Structure 1
Amino acid sequence: MTALWWQTAVIYQIYPRSFQDSNGDGIGDLQGIAQRLDDLTGLGVDAIWISPISPSPMVDFGYDVADYCDIDPCFGTLADFDGLLRQAHRRGLKVLLDFVPNHTSDQHPWFVESRAAKDNPKRDWYIWRDAAADGGAPNNWISDFGGSAWQWDEITGQYYYHAFLKEQPDLNWRHPDVQAAMFDVMRFWFDRGVDGFRIDVLWHMVKAADFPDNPPNPDYRPGMGEMHRLLQLHSTDQPEVHGIASAMRDIADSYGARGLGERILIGEIYLPVDRLMHYYGLKRPGVHLPFNFQLIDMKWDARTLAAAITDYEAALPRDGWPNWVLGNHDRPRVATRLGQAQARVAAVLLLTLRGTPTLYYGDELGLSDVRIEPAQVKDPRELREPGLGLGRDPVRTPMPWDGSDNAGFSTAKPWLPLHADWRTRNVARMTDDPGSILTLYRRLLALRHEHPALSIGDFALVSVEDELLIYARRHESQLLLVALNFGERPHRLPWPDWAHGGRLLLSTHEDTPLAEHDALLLRSHEAVVLEAR
C-alpha cells in the first residue's frame, strides 16, 4: 500500500495545562509545548494532538468554548500558536487540535444572543424547548455529568439542552447557519496550517427531532454514575450525524486535493464496534479514524484481547484503517489499571498492532493516577458526583521532566499536584536508565520507523495459548513475530516453522530471554518482538 502520513504515524496527546509551563503561573502553555518539541521528536512520535486551547471560562477546562478562533490567554496568543506550528512542522511533527463542535460555553456570544429573546436570530442556534405539562423538564434525558440535561432559563421561560454542564449548552446542528459557522471554524485552523482535528463527542452532535424519553438501562447499578441510568438512545448516535461528518470530511479532503497537505479527522465516539464502523462512512465518507477505545475498558487477558483484535479487524470497512488507544484525559491511566509490569506489555501491544496508535502524555513514563485530596479537586465531573471515582484530575497531573523543583514543569506551584515518585519517575532520570519504561517506548517507536511491517504490514493471529498472545506482522519480505505474556508464570513458546533462527529485536526485560533450539522461554510479564531470518 501507499501509506498516508497518518497511517504510519504515532499520535501523542498533550493536555496543555499539564505539559510545560513557560511563564511561571503553574499552568502549562503553548510556549512550554514548543520548548519540549525536541523531547517529542527524541521520543519518536510523529504528531501531537493538543487538548482545547480556545478562550474559555474553564468551567470544564477548555471544553466550554467561548471563541473558536482564538487562544485562551492562559495558554498564550495566536502568534504563540503559529510559532509552535512552525517549529513543529520544521521538525516533521504534525499538529492536531481538539475541535469541540457539540456545545459552546454559555458565555459564547452566540449563546448570549440566543438566550436574549425568543425572537433573536440566533435563538435556534441552540436547543430550546417548552416545559412539560407539569412544568418540569421537556423529557427525562440526563447530563453526562449527572442531573437533568435541561436547564430552565428565567429570561425567556424555556429550557435549553446541555449534554454536559449547564454552562455548556448544546448547539443545534440541524440549523444550517450553525453548520456553516462551524465549518468556517475548521477552515480558519486548516488555513493556518493545522494538520487535523480530534472531534469531541462526535456521536452526540444530533438529537432525535421529537425528543422522546430515553429508555431505562437494564444493566444500571448504583455507583456507575447517574448518566448510565438511561440508555442514550435518542440523545446520541442519530443517523443525521453522518451527513455532518461527511461534510467535515469534504472540507478536510479539499485541502489535500489542492496540494496543501493531507488533513485528518479523528472522531471521539464511545460506541460498540458494530456502530462505530458506520462513522468510517460505509455509505458516504466519514471521519478518517473513529477512535477505538476497546483497550481502555477491556478485560486484560490473552483470549479476550485476541477476540477483540480479530473481531475489530474483521469489522473494518474495505478502506477503513484501524487505530488503537490505551489512555486519554478522561480515563484511568494504563499503569493504574494494569500495574507497572503489564503497562510494559501494553506498550508493546499498542505499538505493534496494525493501525495508528495514540499515546497519552506520561504513559511513556508509567505514570499512575495521582491521589487528589478533596480540597484539591478541580474537575466538575468529580464535584458533581463526588465519591464515585469519576473525576478526571488524577490523569491530568503535570508532566515530570526532571528532579528539580516542581519536576521541571513550572517555577510555581502546579495547578494540580505531582505524583508521589516524581523525583525518580521523570524524563531526565528515566532517559539514563536502560531498563526504564521510557527507554522501552523509545525503542518501540524506533522499531516502528525502521520496520514498516509494524505500521502498515498485514496482521495475522498466530496463536492464543493460556496467558500468551502471539501474532505476526508482515510487509513485503519483512516478517515479525510478537509474543506477549499476560501472566505471572513463565511460558515455553515454540517457534513457528518460519521463525526458526529468528533475531530478537526487543524484549520488555533488560536482558535477553532464554532460547532453546525450537522454543523461546518467555518470562513473567514479558513481551518480545522477533524478526524472521
Structure 2
Amino acid sequence: MSEAKPSLDVVTGPEASAPVAWWQHAVVYQIYPRSFQDSNGDGVGDLPGITQRLDYLRWLGVDAIWISPIYPSPMADFGYDVTDYTGIEPMFGTLHDFDHLVEEAHRRHLKVILDYVPNHTSIEHPWFQESRSSRDHPKRDWYLWKDPGVETSNVETSDVETSRPDGGPPTNWVSNFGGHAWSLDPQTGQYYYHAYLPEQPDLNWRNPAVQEAMFDALRFWLDRGVDGFRVDALRQMIKDDQWRDNPPSDEGPTSQNPYDALKPLYTTDRPEVMDLVRKMRRILDEYGARTGMPRVLIGELYLRIERLVAYYGEDGEGCQLPFNFHLISTPWKAPVIADLIQRYEAALPPHGWPNWVLGNHDQHRLATRLGAAQTRIAAMLLLTLRGTPTLYYGDEIGMPDVPIPEGRVQDPWEKRVPGRGLGRDPERTPMQWDNTKGAGFTTEVPWLPLADDFEQRNVAVQRKDHDSILSLYHRLIQLRRRTSALHRGAYDWVKSQGHVLAYQRSAEDQAYLIVLNLGDQPAAWNVEGTGKVAVGTHRQREGEGFSGTVTLAPNEGVVVRMG
C-alpha cells in the first residue's frame, strides 16, 4: 500500500526540553461518585469508597481524578442541583472524608479535580429561596426573573417587540431537558429561567455579588488542596441582556432532542462568558503562584472547534483545557478522524494545549458506540494523540451501556422526554470490580443495575489477564508516561488511507509510529525505516520488528518505536 498524501504535514508541539505543567502530561480519570465504590452498604458510591480504590488508580497509571459533583443536593439532577457550594452531600460522606481523600490522593501523587457547577443552583438553595420570597428582596437579582407577555421578536435581526397576550413565557428559550426554560412563580407573578430542570434555576452572573459569592466557593476548595476544577455548562453562564428569542436551527424538529429545534444563539456562548473565565483563571493562578503548584481550569464546552479554541483566551488567560469532545461525535472513519486532528491542531492558538475526550457521564459508552473490537483501537488513539486525555471510569474494562428497566429509570432527562433514548443511566452504572455479589461495588442493591456480564467483565479478572483491555490501558499509560514523544512531542505527520489511520510523534531522539486499523478487514501500511512494536492491541505482536511494511489484522493497532 502506498502512502496517501498527508492530511497534516507537521504539527509543532512544545520543545521536549521546555517545562511542562502537570496537567499537560497527565492522564485524567473521571469518577462518577454514585457509581464508583460504595463503602457503607447503601448501594450508592461515596468518598471513602473512592479513597479505598486509589491504589487501583495508581496502578492503572492515571495522574488526576476528576470527581463529578459531591455537594449537598436534593438530587433532582444527581448533584448538578446544588444547595451548598461549600459542603458535602451526606450520601457521599463528610468534609473530613473529603480532606482524607485529598490527603491520600496527594500521598500517591494523584491530583484531585472537582466539578464546579456555576450556571445554576438547586431550587432549594437558600439564595433562591430568598430570591423568590419577594420582588424587592436584595437577592432577587441573583437569578433571572422576567415578567410574562411582552418580549422581543423571534426574528433574529428585528428589534420589534411582540406581545404574548396569553401571558406565557417571556421568550421562546427551551430547556436542555425538554420543555420551556421558563417557569412561573405564582407567588411573585414572574418567570424564572432554568437552562435545565425547573429545579435548577440559573444564576445571574451579570450581578457582581453573585460573582463574588461563587468565587469564594472556588477559594474554599482551593484552600482544602483541590488541584483544579471542571466547570459545568460553562458556555451557558451568560444570557442575552436584550432577551431575544432564539432562531430556528437547521435541524429543526427532526432531531431526537427537542432542544435542537432552536439555535441557542442568545442563551449560550455569549461574548461576556470569557470575562468570567478570566476571573476564575486569575483565582486559580493566584493559588498556583502561592504554592508553586499550578491549578487547572477545565471547561465543559460542546462547541464547534473555532469557538471551542476561543476559550483558551487571546491572552492565554482562559481555560487551560477547554474540553474537546469532537471524537465523541465524529464518525469513526480514518479520513474523518485525520481531518479532525488537522483542523483542531490548526485552530489551536500558540499557547493552547490540546486535549481529547472519548467518553463521559453524558455520552453512551465507548463499547456501545464503537463495538467491543474497536474499544482497543479507541484506547490506543486516545492515549497516543498529542495533548491531555480524559478517561471515563469503566471504559478501561470495556463496560458497555447497561439496559435500564422502566421501573429503575433514574435520569430526569429520560423522564421528561420519554422514549427518545436521551437517558444517561446506561452509561452511569456501577463500576465492576470483581465477580462477587454486587460486583465488589456494594454489598446491597446498587442504585442502578449491574451489567449481566459483570462476573466475567471486571477489574479482578482483567488484571490477571495480560491480553485484557485493562492490561492494554495499563501498558499504554505506562508507555505514555515514560516516553516524551507521546506525552509532549509533536506530530511528524498524520495520514489516512482506507480504514487505516497513522501518525508519527517525535521528541528529542525518539520517534513513535501509531498505526490503527479502524476496519474489520486486514490492512497494511508502508513506511520508510524500521521499528519494533512497543504496544499492540494484540499483545502477541509486542516486540515484533518490521521493515518497510506494517501489517494489521482487522481491528488491530500498534505503537511502534522507530529506528
Give the TM bin, normalised by the shorter chain: over 0.9
1:381 matched residue in structure 2: 413
How far apart are residue 224 of structure 1 and its match?
Answer: 1.9
Q: Which residue of 2 aligns with 1:68?
A: 85
TM-score by length of 1: 0.98
Are 2:533 and 1:504 equivalent residues in the alignment?
yes
Residue 120 in structure 1 maps to residue 150 in structure 2: no
Between the two proteins, what is the percent identity of the paired residues?
57
Residue 85 (1) aligns with residue 102 (2): yes
Map of 1:130 onto structure 2: 147
- 1:32-62 CA-to-partner distances (Å, cap 9, x unmatched) read 0000000000101000000000000000000
Q: Structure 1: 5+ residue runs without aligned partners?
A: none
**2:125 matches 1:108:** yes
Corresponding residue of 1:530: 560
1:351 corresponds to 2:368: no
Mapped contact 2:316–2:352 kept (Cα < 8 A): no
Single out whichever of 218-227 and 181-190 deviates more from structure 2. Answer: 218-227
How far apart, CA to CA, are the structure 2 residues paired with 1:84 and 1:247? Answer: 28
After TM superposition, the structure 1 = structure 2 runs for residues 352-371 of structure 1, keeping only pairs within 5 Å, are 352-371=384-403
Residue 272 in structure 1 maps to residue 304 in structure 2 = yes
Measured after TM superposition, the shift of residue 222 of structure 1 is: 3.3
Q: Write the mapping of 1:128-277 to structure 2, written as runs, cut at 5 A.
A: 128-132=145-149, 133-134=164-165, 135-277=167-309
> Partners in 2 of 1:517 and 1:189 — Cα distance?
53
Task: Call closer, same or farther: CA 1:186–1:268 in 2, change over 3 Å.
Answer: same
SS in 2 for 1:471: strand
Structure-1 separation of matches of 2:79 and 2:144: 21
In structure 1, C-alpha distance between the alignment counterparts of 2:267 and 2:316, rounded to whole Å: 22
Alignment check: 8 A CA contact 2:63 2:109 kept: yes
Match of 2:32 in 1: 15
Alpha-carbon displacement from aligned partner over 1:410-434 (angstroms, at most 9, x marks no partner): 0110000011100000000011111
Secondary structure class of the residue paired with 1:518:
strand
- AA paired with 2:63? D
Greater Cα offset, 184-193 or 454-463: 454-463
In the alignment, the residues of structure 2 paired with residue 325 and residue 465 of structure 1 have an alpha-carbon distance, to the nearest angstrom, of 24
Q: CA deviation at 1:516?
A: 5.9
In the TM superposition, residue 495 of structure 1 has moved relative to its aligned partner by 2.7
For residues 139-178 of structure 1, what are the alpha-carbon distances to aligned partners after superposition, in whole Å with 9 as ceiling and x for unaligned? 0000000000000000111000000000000000000000
Determine the C-alpha separation between the residues in 2 that align with 1:114 and 1:71.
23
Length-normalised TM-score, structure 2: 0.93
Whole-Å separation in 1 of the counterparts to 2:518 and 2:440 = 35
Higher relative contact order (CA 8 A, sep 6+): 2
Q: How many residues align?
A: 530
Equivalent residue letter for 1:252? L
Cα distance per residue 1:236-255 (max 9 Å; x no partner): 11000100000000000001
Is this contact kept in 1: 2:524–2:552, CA < 8 A?
A: yes
Instruction: Name the SS for the 1:367 alignment partner.
Output: coil
Secondary structure at the counterpart of residue 245 of structure 2: coil
How far off is 1:221 after superposition? Answer: 4.1
Q: How many angstroms apart in 1 are the aligned matches of 2:252 and 2:424?
A: 21
Distance 2:104 2:42 in 1: 23
Task: Tell me if structure 1 keeps the 8 A contact 2:402–2:427.
Answer: yes
**Structure 1 residues 223 and 278: CA distance shift in structure 2, 3 A:** closer
User: Can you list the C-alpha shifts for 1:91-149, whole angstroms capped at 9, x where unaligned?
Assistant: 00000000000000000000000000000010000000000142010000000000000
Counterpart of 2:549?
519
2:329 is aligned, of 280, 283, 297, to 297
Is the partner of 1:124 in helix, strand or coil? helix
Distance 1:260 1:109 in 2: 36
Q: Which letter does structure 1 place at the counterpart of 2:145?
A: W
Partner amino acid, structure 1, of 2:44: I
How far apart, CA to CA, are the structure 1 residues paired with 2:334 and 2:117? 36
1:447 matched to 2:476: no
SS at match of 2:327: helix
**CA contact under 8 A between 1:223 and 1:388: conserved in structure 2?**
no
1:260 offset after TM fit, Å?
A: 4.5
Tell me the equivalent position of 1:50.
67
Q: CA RMSD in A?
A: 1.1
One-letter code of the match for 2:46? D
1:491 partner letter? A
User: Could you tell me whether the CA contact under 8 Å between 1:130 and 1:159 is conserved in 2?
Assistant: yes
In the alignment, the residues of structure 2 paired with residue 4 and residue 284 of structure 1 have an alpha-carbon distance, to the nearest angstrom, of 14
Q: Distance in 2 between the 1:512 and 1:94 partners?
A: 34
Of 15, 19, 44, the match for 1:27: 44
Deviation of 1:300 after TM superposition, in Å, equals: 0.3
Alpha-carbon distance between aligned partners in 1 of 2:282 and 2:321, rounded to the nearest angstrom = 15
